[in-house]
Amino acid sequence: MTRPSELVVVTGASTGIGRATAQRLALDGLHVLAGVRRQEDAERLAAVNVEPLILDITNDDHVAALGERVAGDGRRLRALVNNAGIAINAPVETLELKEWRRQFDVSVFGQIAVTRALLPAILAGTGRVINIGSVAGRVAMPSFGPYAAAKFAMEAVSDALRREVAEFGVEVVVITPGAVRTNMTESGIATATRLSEGMTPEQHGRYDKLMAAFLRQVEAFARDGVEPERAAAVISRAIAARKPRTRYTVGPDAAMVVPLSRIVPDRLLDRVLRRQMKLN
């Protein structure tokens, strides 16, 4: 078997979109450095052209080791897929600052750290940065504030970086999935349930109806969402394209909501979202 001549890094590859993407890019003939947090995940993921690495993107030592691994390999870094993230969701009033900081540490600062560590190799090989966004990065639904805020932030980071490195031949692409069936849905439900239990009696009176609607919404995402392999196929296309688009959507809901968010007035969109969540 021919040794792949190019590398790709995928963070958050233990499950869901990250796992499906690592497997798809390996089939595309790339050597995938797949970031996972646990050894048991690494053992399950290891395969031809898939090399799992223990990687906590909030750990400076892990990120530095990843940069050294790529720099010492000698092969071109074709792309970085920033997929690692968490979902912490609750009404703004009820969520402690430490939880907001944790959301941003993983889903914003961790992604920036990995990008900075690998950017020299990306620039040297005119590679690509693929940031996995979300519909929540374009429309913030009630109680999705922390997750949406992090995704909105990465939209801005992606735009700035794209404009900074375009003259060097580096493309920065945002993939915007809608509902996808992943383990993040289950962990998001568990986290939201834990956080709601810590609300004060007054907050329960204000937000219990909203949290029940939120849980129904997330369960619908898990039931009706597209398979992660669909997102992986779009990511593969964005890496392979000679001139990729700056943004791709995944799933029918993303294809509808993203353009809608640009033209619908805020008040009308508020009513649409409340109706969708059955809050009226």
Residues assigned a catalytic role: 147
Residues contacting 2, CB < 8 A, separation 6+: none
The angle at the Cα of 113, spanning 108 to 114, to the nearest 5 degrees, equals: 105
Residue 48 identity: V
- Whether the CB-CB separation of 134 and 184 falls below 8 Å is answered with no
Residues contacting 179, CB < 8 A, separation 6+: 220, 221, 222, 224, 225, 226, 251, 253
Burial pattern 46-60, b for ≥16 Cβ within 10 A else e, equals eeebbbbbebbbeee
CA separation for the pair 251, 230 (Å, rounded): 8
CA separation for the pair 187, 184 (Å, rounded): 5
Cα 208 to the center of its chain, rounded Å: 28
Residue that is written with structure tokens 């074709």 in the block = 78
